[in-house]
């Protein structure tokens, strides 16, 4: 697009050195496209993180129910539960379990590693819940229940905050795409007759 614009400007007689303009417009276009791609990737990553945090309490509740049945250890209950779900949270938990088995780490360290790599803080909190349960002998099912409830509360609080901020964030697009063109149209309708009269005088 930068090259085409440079050729157009050169053919229109607006520039005498099309190569400099072509290089400048091409670099500017590449920078704008890269910035837009980076913005879209960040937006997608943020959406996926919110999806993981929203779905994680359901998996933790399922693991707690398996544990309360007395049929599995905490790690086995989590490994069994993630096989029943097909969502991003279950995928990351399966990755943590694979890291634990391949690198011979504890489940807590594997959860910490996955949470740090993908920037999801609740995975570190889940690892701390397992550590507390093992170190102090607390019933892990109760810890997981409280952890899932706290995650749901935090997610609902952030959701309400996004809803509250939405009208404020929508004012900028409204000003750009509605108020701005309307103001330009009004100014055009007002000042065009005035300039015509002044030109005739």
Rounded CA gap, 183 and 33, in Å?
Answer: 30
Rounded CA gap, 161 and 140, in Å?
Answer: 31
Rounded CA gap, 180 and 187, in Å?
Answer: 11
Tens of pLDDT, residue by residue over 149-176, are 888 887 777 777 777 776 666 676 666 7
Contacts of 56 (CB under 8 A, 6+ apart): 89, 122, 126, 148, 151
DSSP tag of 170? T
Residues 144, 129: contact at Cβ < 8 Å?
Answer: yes
Residues 146, 157: contact at Cβ < 8 Å?
Answer: no
Predicted pLDDT of residue 41? 93
Tens of pLDDT, residue by residue over 10-40, are 766 666 777 777 778 788 888 888 999 999 9
Low-confidence ranges of the chain (pLDDT < 70): 11-15, 71-72, 137-138, 166-170, 172-175, 177, 179-180, 191, 194-195, 197-199, 201
Give first-to-last CA distance, the chain, whole Å. Answer: 44
Kindly state the percentage of the chain with pLDDT values over 90: 9
Kindly compute the dihedral angle of the four CA atoms of residues 59, 64, 70, 74, in this order, to the nearest 10 degrees: 80
């Amino acid at each position: 697009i930068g090259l085409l614009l440079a050729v157009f400007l050169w053919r229109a007689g607006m520039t005498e050195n099309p190569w400099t303009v072509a290089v400048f417009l091409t670099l500017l276009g590449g920078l704008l496209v890269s910035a837009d791609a980076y913005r879209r990737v960040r937006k997608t990553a943020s959406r996926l993180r919110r999806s993981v945090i929203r779905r994680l309490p359901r998996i933790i509740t399922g693991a707690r129910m398996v544990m309360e049945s007395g049929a599995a250890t905490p790690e086995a209950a989590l490994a069994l539960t993630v096989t029943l779900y097909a969502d991003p949270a279950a995928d990351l938990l399966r990755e943590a379990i694979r890291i634990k088995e391949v690198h011979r780490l504890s489940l807590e360290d594997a959860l910490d590693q996955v949470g740090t790599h993908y920037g999801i803080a609740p995975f570190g909190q889940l690892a701390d819940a397992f550590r507390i349960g093992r170190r102090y002998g607390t019933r892990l099912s109760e810890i997981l229940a409280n952890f899932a409830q706290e995650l749901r509360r935090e997610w609902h609080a952030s959701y309400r905050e996004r809803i509250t901020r939405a009208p404020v964030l929508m004012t900028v697009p409204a000003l750009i795409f509605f108020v701005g063109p309307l103001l330009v149209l009004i100014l055009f309708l007002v000042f065009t007759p005035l300039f015509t009269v002044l030109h005739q005088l």
